[in-house]
Structure 1
Amino acid sequence: MSRRPTRRPASTLLRPEQKVKPAGMLERLYHGAKRQGSWLLPSRAFIHRRLLGGIHRHGELFSGMSDSELQDARKVLQTKLHREGLTDALLSETFALIRETAGRSLGMYHFDAQLLAGLALIEGCVAEMQTGEGKTLTATLPAAAATLAGIPVHVITVNDYLARRDAELMLPVYQALGLSVGCVVQGLSQEEKKKAYACDIVYCTNKDVVFDYLRDQLVLKDNQSPLHLHGGRLKGKASIDESLLLRGLHFAIVDEADSVLLDEARSPLVISGGKGASPEQQQVLSKAMALASEMVVDRDFKLDLKQRSVQLRPEGETWLKEQTRHAGSYWSGKVRREDIIHKALTARCLLEKDHHYLVRDGKVQIIDEHTGRIMADRSWEQGLHQLVEIKEGCELTAVRDTLARMTYQRFFRQYHHLAGMTGTAHEVSGELWSVYGLPVIPIPTHRPSRRCYSGPRYFPTLNEKWQAVVVSIRRMHDLGRPVLVGVASVAVAEQLSELLRQEGLDHQVLSAVNDQHEADIVAQAGLPGQITVATQMAGRGTDIKLAPVVEEAGGLHVILTEYHDASRIDRQLAGRCARQGDPGSFEVLVSGEDSLLEGKAFMGLEALMSSVTSSPLSGRLGLARLKWTQKQVERRHASIRRQLFQSDEKQDERLSFTGSG
């Protein structure tokens, strides 16, 4: 059965999206038995290699054509695609046409690795391409092929900068193929968004497309079915139709697929409605924060940093009741007062400044934990955001109530056709298959890797680690090599920045604080002796161009200063160096006081380590402890995603039983 996208029947063009249905018994057994999807790989790899030969044969014919002849060939091919769909023969011809067009309009012909990745994407797979292999150009193959066949396409990436950049860079290819391109970023008006979504190919971020979909759902309300919409049109009621942004969920190509589909899947996406906080509400919030600041951990409440949770103890409940006995009607209800105190304790103990949020221009702005970027138009709901504002002494904004909610897992499963690209997928191939039905196809590199890795180094304390980091930076700087240092948070970036200033080392910081200068900072990161400090995934998806003298000196040197919650993120940072066969090196410097270990006990391992006087053995135990912790965190996050997925499926079953949805 073909996994390639097809044009939807005319009756579904009113509002085309795939209704998510709960998996039946046979489907569950099928997914369990074929969990990795690896049984599909040999046959697909064989088919893709065969199609690759066809692409090159057609390419030889197209290369001999003039521009006008190529346009005529495109029109004939487009007619065939509309009539016959993406058959093997037409797919090879289409990819060859797109490749020739890209070569003429951009001066870049797709490599074989990119052609194989494009074939994997059009087949509805996740193409695992190593960092620097050219995902931006690769996406033009499935996007243009599907659009030429009459299928609208969303190319989804992780931030506005990448969406705008990729759309602008690839625009000449699409224009030469007679296709329209839209780009949806923050700050566009309703009309500008609608115009962009009406284009053949739309570049957008994952958050923008989901929130715009939710806004459409609020407009549709009880008129979500094609029959309701069509009935409204027959009655001359076009107002609903004109208010909608998206024209359906046809084909999505997701860049950084592991980040979008998995890492961010733990966070539900919520649209909230704002209403001004009354004086009574402000008084309640202020009192809640004051009471929370007086409560003592382990006496009044339990704090679990590992699970990121707070829980009132019976002593705390009794104390809270006594303190609010004469505070007013709001505090008389046990559920209400304990709920608001729970949020206040969360704001006090679990949400850290410069890690989960920053204060800019007197406003609390959330930092996306997955990308390290600020989310200026986002806020925590049900009073939590206002409690953080009280904590930081900021002016209170409007209290927001939930109007619509959606998980990434539910949203992306509604696309009729889904595909993705990433450099780090094999660790989570089972989850991508079981949740989204996406097999992972590894793509060979265009050139052999020249990355040098010296192995991890462990230090007992943070102070020793940062001293070693500065020494390593100084050594590489003196050799004329650029250095990229990966840190865990904005606060840590500022601490390292101060150390480098004390050492007289000029540097740039790439973080949520100065994200608007990201392109300029990344553009300079490959210059001789340049030092760049970057938070987590800041700058991901952008090429660091090396100056010729840097290549001779050994290329970019990358330093990882802390293991992240997922080993994939560590690999992503390593992938910033030695791209496309360039020279480069990578090292890991970690410590026994890193944030990954906060709030985690290890059943006497600390005592064992302190009793070991041999430094090599102590270092090996320390590294083993960090890697074990990282694995536990990965399992916990996967468990949270699994529970969220199961919750979605239970909701689907209820909707199916009641005939809703």
Structure 2
Amino acid sequence: MVSLGSLARKVFGSANDRRVKSTRPRVEAINAMENEMRALSDADLVARTQKFRDDLANGASLDDLLVPAFATVREAARRVLGMRPFDVQLVGGMVLHGGGIAEMRTGEGKTLVATAPVYLNALAGKGVHVVTVNDYLASRDAEWMGRIYKFLGMTVGIIVHGLDDEERRAAYACDITYATNNELGFDYLRDNMKYERAQMVQRGHNYAIVDEVDSILIDEARTPLIISGPLEDRSEMYNTVDAFIVQLLPEDYEVDEKQKTAIFTEDGTEKVENMLRGAGLLKGESLYDVENVAMVHHVNNALKAHRLFQKDKDYIVRNGEIVIIDEFTGRMMPGRRYSEGLHQALEAKEHVAIQPENQTLASVTFQNYFRMYKKLAGMTGTALTEAEEFGNIYGLEVTDIPTNLPVQRIDEDDEVYRTVEEKYRAIIQEIRDTHAKGQPVLVGTTSIEKSELLAELLKKAGIKGFQVLNARHHEQEASIVAQAGVPGAITIATNMAGRGTDIQLGGNADMRIEQELADMPAGPEREAREKAIREDVAKLKEKALAAGGLYVLATERHESRRIDNQLRGRSGRQGDPGRSKFYLSLQDDLMRIFGSERMDGMLTKLGLKENEAIIHPWINKALEKAQTKVEARNFDIRKNLLKYDDVSNDQRKVVFEQRIELMDGENLSETVAGMRNDVIDEMVAKAIPENAYAEQWDAAGLKAEVQQYLNLDLPIEEWVKEEGIAEDNILERITAAADAAAADRAGRFGPDVTAYVERSIVLQTLDALWREHIVNLDHLRSVVGFRGYAQRDPLQEYKQEAFELFQAMLGNMRQAVTAQLMRVELVRQAAEAPPPEAPQAIGQHIDPVTGEDDFNEGGALLAVLENTRTVPAEERDPANPATWGKVGRNEPCPCGSGKKYKHCHGAFA
């Protein structure tokens, strides 16, 4: 029976078909301009850029210019790169211009697709960001596609590791900027730690195209970007709290080893409160008052350290340090530390030196960073399976772009074996057979460990000449992937390897030329060698085609269909033949999810023998359903995380916008006066409650607070004795005295110096309190889940308490700013002093798949710091750029070429 939905789709086409169809008139209009474009001289073609800019200035919209601009870029690409975008690439470009996601198969030329919408949107002069997953792709694409933009008179910048602020500012000021997602996020955070507007490097978030959009906006969005710096030493507090835990009895806490939780009973909470009160560490009445969020966190960590973590099982003490033991491998992990104060709690427990914590200075998720762009677009080979998430979180619609040539890849049904051993035996035999007939094979694995296990099995089976690619992105991997289409090649790759590089049958001629002829100068000999390489690649391609094209052999189903589709999509590019097949066992992770034990028993009864496989389309459907369920669960987790992050993100935006207003403000005297008046209002209201008699007023307390916050010694106790004195009279007298003291200071030191000091103190106080607030939110987040046991919604509780903490932070800020400004002794030299430096910090983004730090603060960051060191000329080796350190852009290049550094080794775009 045909459903109404499928019948309607047959008659009207799907929504996706209708979106693609709607672009046809504009594609035809662009094609109609082709002869006109070809007839133009280079100078006339370049002149069109200025004409488009003039049109925009005269009221035209970007949509009005789409057809002529796309036609211009197509012709420029043909002249500069020898590549003429296909019609389907123009369709992809229109989807990107419209602020959507273009799903295009591997090999369909996504890098070139982006050029037309990038050029069109860059005409507005507000900057366009093209986002890639790693430095190599950012550099490659900026250099490769940058030739089109530069030909058309546009500027191109690139943001990679190792640039200083001046170079970053110049790159962001360009019409088009290529950058990695990590660098963009960290620059945003660092900008909001600067103390002057001129120090900031980014100039807004106008339009971004995200390459590998599923990887960046879904996979990597699970973990935030964090900038952290060392905290002040709090070892005394850890030791004090640790001493309290030792005094507790078993009835004071409950431990659940299975869930790895330890919580206080009511008696235990009361005991801890009394101990903290005695030590002066408790604010307010209860441990669970909002002011004690951080203390609850520390006390809980101390309890965990004593009751959940065992010495010589979970950690060892070696050379006076706590070293974590990996629970899966039993190996020591030196250098790794538990976060959020847990490691410090263990150090206090074992009475070794307590290392300072790293405090989060600023953090943002990719989800919230990329939602700041006025217009956002993305492209990838696999987005449709996550279309709901893209729509709900980013408001992005996914459009499936047809291939330029029909897909000829054959996707075979999965083969399911009972055991892993049987599965691997079948895989080894299949690789042997495929290799023997000269067909290139790409073997997909789900982890580094499994890729290395398969490599060992191939060695034992006597199969040689294979390449193993693990999940780190860099140039070498890209070049290996590019040659994975050579006849007989065997490439074992993890899911992440080789992004951004196509597997071309016969190999990639350009990469071979680059590698084999790197040292050969231009001339007839080089041209002859290039021709020979291209001919050889063409012959190898014929052999690979005859053998059936690239064979993608996957050793396991991933829990996400998208990752499986990415792997499959490596085969069958641009109409090439190919095939793909998944080998599974009932012991695989995903198979266990939907009851493989029952299936195992059933297959045994049906007489499935050893080394036999079950193959049926129903198995594929059942697996897809299991994957859909897992994807839905993961989406719910990410959605829930985002709800919590949205709370801190709203506060972050308020604080960052406030900082920019403060930096832009010429004179903060009104703001500062407003803060001072609020502080006075609060002091007076607290000391003189509404409708209270004069003898109930707290004159001594008010006098002490006036001394503390205003640095004024006023006769308040005398005032309250005056006949008929009212609350308003006291408020007016304190305000007048404070205003007079502030005016006296400003008059003595002049408006410029006063404005400088006011701005510095307000910004530094805001930053210090914001950092403390971030830590409090982290601590609140870690414990608020327990509210669910009391039938209260943790998210609502988090929102409410986060708001209260934010209000408290603003109150503390008013008091701190007022107290400092009423005490500060201004010195004239301060006006000429350089603006304060942002605190020393390191960046970090944990890869949710590998658990490693993408920003590689231990390696890449050190290299960055090394490259910013100025090295004397005599210590530089002309043949080794690693010895040059920081080289000025206009200095002669240390290689000895005679060119400026920026035109030689320093040329990046």
Look up the match of 1:270. Answer: 226
Shift of 1:627: 4.2
Q: In the alignment, which of 461, 465, 478 is matched to residue 436 of structure 2? A: 478
- TM-aligned CA deviation for residue 333 of structure 1: 6.7
Give the match for residue 143 of structure 2: 168
Aligned to 1:475, what secondary structure does the other structure show?
A: helix
Root mean square deviation of aligned Cα: 4.3
Contact 2:414 2:619 survives alignment (8 Å):
no
| 8 Å CA contact retained: 2:217, 2:367 | yes
Give the corresponding residue for 1:551: 545
Name 2:834's counterpart in structure 1. Answer: none
TM-score norm. by structure 1 comes to 0.74
Task: Specify the SS of the correspondent of 1:247.
Answer: coil
Give the counterpart letter for 1:99 in structure 2. Answer: R
**Deviation sequence 1:356-397 (CA, Å, 0-9, x none):** 9x999x866xxxxxxxxxxxxxx9843679999xxxxxxx99
**Deviates further, 650-659 or 185-194:** 650-659
- Within-5 A mapping of 1:129-278: 129-219=104-194, 240-274=196-230
Q: Secondary structure at the match of 1:109?
A: coil
Over residues 329-376 of structure 1, what are the superposed CA-to-partner deviations in whole Å (9 max), with x where a residue is unaligned? 99997412245579979x969x998999x999x866xxxxxxxxxxxx
Deviation at 1:136, TM superposition (A): 0.3
Name the CA shift for 1:177/1:466 in 2 (closer, same or farther; >3 Å).
same
Deviation at residue 607 of structure 1 after TM alignment: 6.7
Q: 1:243 to 1:387 in 2, by over 3 A?
A: farther
SS in 2 for 1:218: coil
Matched, 1:634 2:634: no
Distance 2:655 2:178 in 1: 37
Partner Cα separation in structure 1 for residue 223 and residue 212 of structure 2: 17
CA distance in 2, matches of 1:387, 1:182: 46
Residues 524 and 271 (structure 1), Cα distance of their counterparts in 2 relative to 1, 3 Å cut: same
| Paired amino acid for 1:335 | N
2:565 is the counterpart of 1:571: yes
Q: Which amino acid aligns with 2:393?
A: V
Distance 1:344 1:463 in 2: 36
Aligned amino acid, residue 638 of structure 1: F
TM-score (norm. length: structure 2): 0.55
Q: How many residues align?
A: 556
Q: Which range moved further: 616-625 or 552-561? A: 616-625
Instruction: Kindly indicate whether residue 401 of structure 2 is the aligned counterpart of residue 426 of structure 1.
Output: no
Residue 536 of structure 1 deviates from its aligned partner by: 1.1
Shift of 1:562: 1.4
Q: Taking every aligned residue pair, what percent have the same amino acid on both sides?
A: 39
1:122 positional shift = 0.5
CA spacing shift, 1:464–1:189, aligned 2, 3 Å? farther
1:542 & 1:399 partners in 2: Cα distance? Answer: 41
Instruction: State the SS of the aligned residue for 2:340.
Output: coil
Corresponding residue for residue 528 of structure 1: 487
2:629 maps to a residue whose letter is Q
1:134 Cα deviation after fit: 0.4
| Whole-Å separation in 2 of the counterparts to 1:99 and 1:75 | 17
Q: Which amino acid aligns with 2:76?
A: T
1:496 corresponds to which residue? 454
Aligned-residue offset at 1:474:
1.2
How many Å apart are 1:402 and its aligned residue?
Answer: 1.2
- Rounded to whole Å, the distance in 1 between the matches of 2:236 and 2:475 is 38
Specify whether residues 86 and 100 from structure 1 end up closer, same or farther in structure 2 by C-alpha distance, changes over 3 A only. farther
Structure 2 counterparts to residues 207-606 of structure 1, below 5 A: 207-219=182-194, 240-274=196-230, 301-302=257-258, 310-312=260-262, 334-338=299-303, 381-382=339-340, 399-504=357-462, 505-512=464-471, 515=474, 517-547=476-506, 548=541, 549-596=543-590, 602=595, 605=598
Shift of 1:561: 1.1
Write the deviation string for residues 478-537 of structure 1: whole angstroms up to 9, x where unpaired: 111211111111111111111122223221111136855212311321112111111112
C-alpha distance in structure 1 between counterparts of 2:572 and 2:591, whole Å:
30
Asked if structure 1 preserves the Cα contact closer than 8 Å seen for 2:136 and 2:474, the reply is no
What is the deviation of 1:302?
A: 1.6
Residues 127-170 of structure 1: per-residue CA shift (max 9 Å, x gap): 11112110000111111111123231111121222111111111
The verdict on how the C-alpha distance between 1:336 and 1:103 changes in structure 2, with shifts beyond 3 A counting, is same
Q: Secondary structure at the match of 1:403?
A: strand
Q: 1:262 to 1:213 in 2, by over 3 A?
A: same
Determine the C-alpha separation between the residues in 2 that align with 1:342 and 1:452.
Answer: 56
- Separation in 2 of the partners of 1:331 and 1:654? 23
Q: Which of 426-435 and 414-423 deviates more?
A: 426-435
- Structure 2 contact 485–550 (Cα < 8 Å) conserved: yes
Q: 1:535 to 1:252 in 2, by over 3 A?
A: same
Q: Kindly provide the CA deviation profile for residues 400-430 of structure 1, in whole angstroms up to 9, marking residues without a partner as x.
A: 2211121222111110111111122222222
Kept in 1, the 8 Å contact 2:105–2:569? The answer is: yes
Residue in 1 aligned with 2:642?
645
Q: Determine helix, strand or coil for the equivalent of 2:426.
A: helix
Please tell me whether the aligned partners of residues 390 and 396 of structure 2 are also in contact (alpha carbons under 8 angstroms): yes
Q: CA deviation at 1:175?
A: 0.8
Q: Which residue of 1 aligns with 2:906?
A: none
Give 1:121 shift: 0.7
Of the structure 1 ranges 168-177 and 98-107, higher mean CA displacement relative to structure 2 is found in 168-177
Conservation of the 8 A alpha-carbon contact between 1:132 and 1:579: yes
| Partner AA of 1:261 in structure 2 | L
Partner residue, 2:77: 102
Aligned residue in 1 for 2:56: 81
The change in CA–CA distance for 1:340 and 1:632 in structure 2 (over 3 A counts) is farther
Preserved CA contact (<8 Å) 1:526 1:550? yes
The one-letter code sitting in structure 2 at the alignment partner of 1:636 is R
The corresponding residue for 1:128 is 103
Aligned counterparts of 2:80 and 2:345: Cα–Cα separation in 1:
53
The answer to whether the 8 Å contact 2:438/2:547 transfers is yes
Structure 1 residue 604: Cα displacement? 6.6
User: AA paired with 2:66?
Assistant: L
Separation in 1, partners of 2:620, 2:326: 28
* SS of aligned partner of 1:525: coil
Q: Which moved more, 1:173-182 or 1:544-553?
A: 544-553
Letter in 2 for 1:522: V
